[in-house]
Structure 1
Amino acid sequence: MALAALLSSTAAAAADPAPRAAATTRAQVPAGVTAGVAVFDRRTGTFTEQINAAGQFRSASVVKILIALDMLWNRDPATLPAADRTRIDAMLRSSDDAAASHYWANNGQGAVIDRMVARLRLADTARPPASHPGFWGYTALSARDTVTIYRYLLDSAPAAVRDYVMNNLRQSTRCATDGYDQHFGIAGSFNRPWAVKQGWSGFSSGGCTAPASARSAQNGAGAAAVDLSRPALHTTGVVGAGDRAIVAVLTLHPSGTPYGKAYTDLGRLTRSLNVPGATRPAGTWIGTWGSGVRVRTQATTGSAAVTTLPAGVEVLVSCQKRGQQVSVPPYVNDWWAHLPQYGGYMTNIYLSSPDNQVPGVPVC
């Protein structure tokens, strides 16, 4: 069968043992992906990675950090009305679009970006094009400016603002408000401690358990000097004890790229980076197939679902064990894989492996 051929042909390529130490090689950009990369070591004050660091990308939801900082400028977060704290919490933790649109409309739209560019002396950041003034996700942003934003937050912002924003980013939810799985890139590549603000635009399904919905108009597709049409997936944040490394990886993918494919490619790129202070979870990276694949609390179909995987995404498997027999004709399998980053199990049927028990993966 074509499916069987796919599984056997991709198994060797899909399995990718995860190293425990930080990578030392230059960023490895997957074929077809346009990337802007910057990794800054706060301990030494130097960049360990820079590729197209000044390149402008549409920000997607990464701009929500600037929207929050503008709202908090010269203001103690403790003085915010409860409604504003609720909105900002959701915007930073779960990438809530409605909250971003609320502040964008109320605080002058592109003027938010103009103010933050001047305050932080950003070099490559610009308000959305005049043809799309309400589209906050069309803000132009670069990897090096993203590092500057995090450096301001960590080193220059008032302590109350720093703690409020960073604590929200440390509590990033796996499922965003719109149903996209947002724990790709940094969140999928490194052990905690980390804090992230992610961005995505131009995809149709993120695969989380929460109900999915189309991206808002403010984060949709269009045309301007900055590429607004190709699907965008960005991972930004800090990694390691004491927030040692600032990581910004901005990517564009070929038109029509499925979310799971972009999620996987961004993960591979992020794992190739030299990120000082980062530690990586043990296990083997393996591709998956199928859609609507559930991760469950136990190795049974009757146990609670933790989440639903993005279709075709690569997952980290720490070990495998026998559980309930699952039948997906013509396949039958009673082996289940433990996915440490999800805290649950998936049936091995949907792993891209030619055997029921994945070779080289230990038994739990």
Structure 2
Amino acid sequence: MSNTNLWYTRCPVPTAFSLAIRLGWLDQEFAADGISITSLLQSSDRNVRESHFSHTQANSFRHGGNAPPIWARSVGSDVKLIGLSWTDAPQVLLTLPGSGIKSVADLKGRRLALPRRTLDSIDFARSGTLQSYETALATAGLTLKDVELVEIVVDRGYLDDSGSTSKDGTLFNAFQNRSFQREEIAAFLQGKVDVISSNGPRAVDFQALLGAQVIYDAATNPNRLAWVNNSYPYTFTVSGKLLEEQPELVTRLLVKTLEAAEWAKSHHSDAVRIVALELGVAEEFVERSFGPNLSQQFDVNFSPENVAALRLRKEFLLKHGFLGGDFDIDQWIVTGPLEEAKRIVAAHRKQTATSKPKAQELAEAL
């Protein structure tokens, strides 16, 4: 098993996988077996880094937004889905003061910014924005045909500013994350569009910096399936060949990820600090965006709601031409490694719980 090299990548979003990476638990798990586990950022090869979207790098894991892996699977990449996760966060439409827009109903005939990233293999930003608009407009009985979608061309790749190599660093640094909607904000301030879509800490940042006002927030909808977008749900994927040939490695990685999710429940401030580091934002913005329940929402699962959300997301991407073709979600999902990982974590938890009283008895006897 020595000389095996595992690769990973993650989006700048809250995941238990990111916690496990930052805590050093993945290195600790595999080091004794001579297995290295390395971020895609360690490679200076652009093709290797592009695996964040294409999932073509051998022996690799990815946890984050769902559009890239869904797209990768649709064009034939050897990728399997081993888990889903969900973290509550604002997903908003914003306008500037004085626009006259107070609600979704006021959007009829107005100009909505729609990015088009020309250098990325899958335009996940466009897909997320388009779905945000479609979902919001439906609440007022409107459709995309009732508004003017203004294309905002982005002639730079999402990975252009990934930075220097790093063994465990993220591909998405603070500068890169802050500049993500640069072109949309320029059009917004120049009066070329009336509305932009944003989410998470970035949306909070725009409200603080620009005085932007929220017209609609999907996170206020009691029907969580109405939240479906690139971040709902997050997808946890792995190279198909690795899963087929060494499933025990996949299970071991999932065990450490699930343990990180458990750790977060009793380490809220530490989890917030790691998420802030991953996103390149202030801890206050993490708290404002994800709320007091963030540390309770890192679980990885295949809950019926998460799977239903994934189906809706794939259907949207297919309907709007983002995919290379259709595929069966049920055949993409592989539940075995996660089921085994959850069994192992539960057994560890039970063993720990039963060992504590014995330790207390011994201490009292002494």
* Fold shared, TM-score > 0.5 on shorter chain: no
Structure with the higher strand share, 1 or 2? 1
- TM norm structure 2: 0.26
TM-score for the superposition, normalised by structure 1: 0.26
More contact order relative to length (CA 8 Å, sep ≥ 6): 2
As a proportion of its length, which structure holds more helix? 2
Largest Rg, 1 or 2: 2
